[in-house]
Structure 1
Amino acid sequence: MKNIRNFCIIAHIDHGKSTLADRLLEHTKTISDRDMQAQVLDDMDLEREKGITIKSHAIQMTYVVGKEKYTFNLIDTPGHVDFSYEVSRALAACEGALLLVDAAQGIQAQTISNLYLALDNDLEIIPVINKIDMDGAMIPEVKDQIMDLIGCKEEDILLASGKTGIGIEEILSAIVARIPAPKGDPEAPLQALLFDSVFNSFRGIIAYFRVYNGVIKKGDKIKFVNTDEEYEADEVGILKLGLEPKSEVSTGDVGYIITGIKNAKEVKVGDTITHVARPGEGIKGFEEVKPMVFAGIFPVVTDDFEELRECMEKLQLNDASLTFETETSQALGFGFRCGFLGMLHMEIIQERLEREFNQTVITTVPNVSFIAYDSKGNKSTVNNPSEMPDPTKLEKIEEPFIRAQIISLPEYIGNIMTLCLGKRGLLINQSYLTTTRVELIFEMPLAEIVFDFYDKLKSSTRGYASFDYHPIDYRESDIAKMDILLNSEKVDALSALIHRSRANDFGRKLVSKLKELLPRQQFMIAIQAAIGAKIVARETISAMRKDVTAKCYGGDISRKRKLLEKQKEGKKRMRQIGSVEVPQEAFLAVLKLDE
């Protein structure tokens, strides 16, 4: 056990985490030159293209110093704020972390939030400045930022370049010297933290775990503490580039277990594995993953509903944090109400449906979950505008608030303030991390950042702001349901739950956008935005009309009038029976309404 080191790499998006992992794997000869490729731990095409890590990965390396042979378990974590619970469980499985900071960009929001997660888990932090060979590297400034942030000495900071391999040997030596060996008792009852799972179509769910106490052997009867389900360990082993079966995995080590489970919901990240015969206690910190953003996903052709259901179930095997249930919409037919961890998660799911399963889908307006209280004091969760209780029986409604941390350059403070206060934010704190870095903390409603907050933040600060958030609580708010009516018929897929102060403005923008997008018909179309019975905005699309008076040359005006009256009657009848087709662009337009 004294020669095991469990560590992870924490960094903001795009600070070179996956590239540094590649160099460590190369240097320890874990991967042969033939198998080597860029971002080797990111095995999804989507991860490579976007340059982000979506799934956690774990891999074991062997490093030799003199006659001593060390086992390194690197647990690679996602960097994005949507996946922070997964990151916290992966950190709980480690004793140390490499804090990676880009020499050209310095410390950013997620560097700090992931650092706090690491400190909460009492990890030994090794600061590393990456990309030191770049032209814009500001090594002295970034060193000062790191020393201010974690209070280390200058000589503790390592300099490296993931691209060229500078400083890799120093990092490996520092891991041996500074990160403590895992503690634990191999004789105690089994306690293993489950920090990730992947789905294999032949073997079922493969769960990754880290053993705190005890030993897990092939053929053991095991159970998951939080779900209280019992299984048999068909295979256990360690994680090299592939799976390497072993007869047992002991205290302090990281490994995998295959039990033939087929349902991803039974394997929860953060759960504890223990023996049925000698059960150990559950490891603290387990949480159910809660979706934050909800949206409807519908097939473009209604007949593809069953096929879409199969695709969603397959996707859920790979991603247990996706939740969905069936729902029907008058405008779009049968589909699913899906819960996502955040906007990036939603984008990834849509993209994966399209790529991996060839499904083209319509996504409705994303919204967050509200809590509604009726006059009798009953409490209900509202994930969908159609679930909103009758306004006459509604006592109050609460919406989720988040604590947002934005780090930027001082010259953009004004732009950030304007943006956040316009989104109903409250400024809680403003502090200078260094002379060129300012941190702003806001409390804001989650509903306001769901749409296009991140894009606007980036454009108003020329890409220099980094953003991180975590949910805090629910607060009472004046939320109204806004319906869109086409010729007095509600289009439920365009309904939205919105703060009353913004409803008029939002309604006007939406109806004028729909006027551009809806095709003209033979009859007039009235587009209205309504809150309850009150119409807050209206646009009219005039009818296409044939010149019926063209055949009247001269003669009496009453003949022309008669023809026009006849046409008018026809249009009226047509309007009563004609239905308005809503094109897919109209549903997407709601997401891209420019302020």
Structure 2
Amino acid sequence: ANEQQINFPIVYTNARAGTATLDLEKPGTDLIPLLDVVLETAPAPMHEPGHPLQVLITNLAANDFVGRIAVGRIRNGIVRKGAKITILREESAISGTVTSLTLPMGIERVEVAEAGPGEIVGIAGLADVEIGETITDPADPRPLERLHVDPPTLQMTFGVNTSPIGGKDGKFLTSRQLKARLEKEVLGNPAIEVSPTDTGEAFQVRGRGELQLAILVEQMRREGFELEVSRPEVLLHKGPNGIEEPFEQLTIDVPVDFVGVITGIMAERRARMENIQHGADGRARVDFLIPTRGLIGVRGRILTETRGTALIHQLSAGYKPWVGEIPHRTNGCLISDRTGVTTGYALYGIQERGELFVTEGEQTYEGQIIGESAKPGDMDVNAVREKKLTNMRTHSHDEAIRLTPPRRMALENALEFIGPDELIEVTPSALRLRKRLLNENDRRRDAGRRAEMREAN
């Protein structure tokens, strides 16, 4: 920083009243002073008069009527609705016609006939346009330096809800509706990739991180979808030194008192501390290099351990050699062995074997995970058992049942908790954990086959 940078205009505004003034002694009446300062100090867009059209695509949007919309700032030239344009790619070019041309107006986008240098435009008419490409004049195509979007690092399976109690809560239930929604997301979100699976009822969804995929799941849940999703998996590469995995540069800003806690959490996830800086305000900034798979569920835990005082920032650090297994949960699950409504009598006995995720009066089904066991290995339990009615009355048997409050997990926590053989059932009103194979005998046979395959290898 230098002394010239402190010579900036000061405008006093009242956003609620919609007024601005340059002098505190003179109350403002409107926002004209603010707009005048912007016109006087903000430089006009730099462009070459007579230069052919150049628009660098920096974002994508989607519309049900016009399809994919390329968003970018016009560097040179003029674009008109109905005009012929060319998209320049790294090794090819495609042509098209501007079917829709829009400019931002407040929070809306309005149709215009033409736009010039400096305008941020939305251009429709090219279905396969991508971020980083250049929209040019077909008569004189001149590319701009290409932008590159970070490739996906994680993938999850999105499938239709196959639970026995599915279809009662949502509006969108079929694989056709799920596919249409994911394809719509791809139109406006270049970081998302979708591909079908062998079953046709599920889709592989790739993204830039667990948070991005979790946001997509939450959006679909609020829109009325019922679906089931798997635990995120990292996308591995074969490098010159063997298997490589994606890494992230993670920066955490916390009060100094929590540095030890943060360091412990990061060590569990194979992170390496690269730098630490102590500030005068009693906070510290710690830099880590961490595998992307180590970030699954870490935000919620950091915010919990630091009482919400941590600031977290992450940046892709590319692919680096595999650093080994990251410990997952060591305890097994408490699994419901039948369908029905949970009873306090049954849960009272089950809660001694672990931590419950459900409470009395909830609908459950065979294969649903209703708690975390206190020991390794899964345990099938009867959560719908009722107390038999008899004429026997004793003080010890008739005392009130006291249930420990259940542990309720948000989507991010659930994604971290589940294992490879488990899924999350997502509906507009509930999140449930379940086994991929609901039947106990099917799970045992599958475990036997997996053991045989490991021995063979």
Please confirm whether the aligned pair reaches a TM-score higher than 0.5, indicating the same fold. yes
1:321 aligns with 2:191: yes
Instruction: Give the alignment partner of residue 433 of structure 2, picking from 586, 589, 595.
Output: 586
1:446 matches 2:268 = no
**Contact 1:193 1:271 survives alignment (8 Å):** yes
Change (3 A) 1:174 1:427: farther
**For 2:139 and 2:191, how far apart are their aligned partners in 1?**
31
**CA deviation map 1:87-118 (0-9, x unaligned):** xxxxxxxxxxxxxxxxxxxxxxxxxxxxxxxx
Partner of 1:5: none
Q: CA deviation at 1:402?
A: 1.1
User: CA offset at residue 350 of structure 1?
Assistant: 1.3
Q: Contact 1:507–1:537 (CA<8 Å) still a contact in 2? A: no
Q: 1:267 corresponds to which residue?
A: 129
Amino acid paired to 2:195: E
Equivalent residue number for residue 120 of structure 2: 254
**Equivalences for residues 385-400 of structure 1 within 5 A:** 396-400=242-246
Query: Are positions 1:508 and 2:370 aligned together?
Result: no
Distance, in Å, in 2 between the alignment partners of 1:413 and 1:183 is: 47
> What residue is the counterpart of 2:81 in the other structure?
218
1:426-466 superposed Cα distances (whole Å, 9 cap, x missing partner): 1111113443332111111111002x100111111111111
- In structure 2, the partner of 1:353 is 220
Q: 2:68 — aligned with what?
A: 205
Where do residues 52-451 of structure 1 align in structure 2 (5 Å cutoff)?
152-153=5-6, 162=15, 169=31, 172-226=35-89, 228-241=93-106, 242-259=108-125, 261=126, 263=127, 266-281=128-143, 283-301=144-162, 304-328=174-198, 334-356=201-223, 358-372=224-238, 396-450=242-296
2 CA distance for matches of 1:178 and 1:220?
34
More helix by share: 1
Change (3 A) 1:464 1:507: closer
Tell me, yes or no, if the aligned pair for 1:186 and 1:251 is still in contact at 8 Å. Answer: no
Between Structure 1 and Structure 2, how many residues are aligned?
A: 339
- One-letter amino acid matched to 1:353: M
User: Could you tell me the TM-score, scaled by structure 1's length?
Assistant: 0.50
C-alpha separation in 1, matches of 2:151 and 2:314: 15
The answer as to whether partners of 2:62 and 2:187 remain within 8 angstroms in 1 is: yes
TM-score, scaled relative to structure 2: 0.64
Q: Which amino acid aligns with 1:207?
A: A
CA distance in 2, matches of 1:292, 1:220: 38
In 1, are the aligned partners of 2:230 and 2:422 still within 8 Å (CA)?
no
User: Matched residues, percent identical?
Assistant: 20
3-state secondary structure, aligned to 1:251? coil
Q: 1:582 to 1:405 in 2, by over 3 A?
A: closer
What is the Cα deviation at residue 371 of structure 1?
1.8
Task: For 2:62 and 2:11, locate their aligned partners in 1 and report how far apart those are by CA, in whole Å.
Answer: 37
Alignment CA distance shift 1:165-1:540 (3 Å): same
Q: In the TM superposition, what is the alpha-carbon distance from 1:408 to its structure 2 partner? A: 2.0
RMSD over equivalenced CA pairs, Å: 3.8
Shift of the alpha carbon at 1:174? 4.5
List runs of 5+ in structure 2 lacking aligned partners. Answer: 22-30, 164-172, 340-365, 367-374, 384-420, 426-431, 437-457
Amino acid at match of 2:256: P
Q: Distance in 2 between matches of 1:156 and 1:415?
A: 44
The 3-state SS of whatever aligns with 2:174 is helix
Deviates more, 1:415-424 or 1:347-356: 347-356
CA distance in 2, matches of 1:582, 1:276: 50
User: What SS does the aligned partner of 1:586 have?
Assistant: strand
How far does residue 284 in structure 1 lie from its aligned partner after superposition? 1.9
C-alpha distance in structure 2 between counterparts of 1:428 and 1:581, whole Å? 35
- Report how far residue 472 of structure 1 moved: 1.1
SS at match of 1:463: coil
Q: Secondary structure at the match of 2:318?
A: strand
Return closer, same or farther for 1:363/1:158 CA change in 2, 3 Å cut-off. Answer: farther
Give the whole-Å Cα distance in 2 for the aligned partners of 1:400 and 1:453. Answer: 16
Provide structure 1 residue ranges, at least 5 long, that are not aligned to the other structure.
1-146, 378-394, 480-498, 526-535, 545-579, 590-595
Flag the 1:411–1:165 CA change in 2: closer, same or farther, 3 A: farther
- What one-letter code is carried by the residue in structure 2 that aligns with 1:258? A
Deviation at 1:582, TM superposition (A): 8.5
Question: 1:251 is matched by which residue type in structure 2?
Answer: P
What is the Cα deviation at residue 152 of structure 1?
4.3
Higher relative CO (CA 8 A, sep ≥ 6), structure 1 or 2? 2
CA distance in 2, matches of 1:286, 1:300: 38
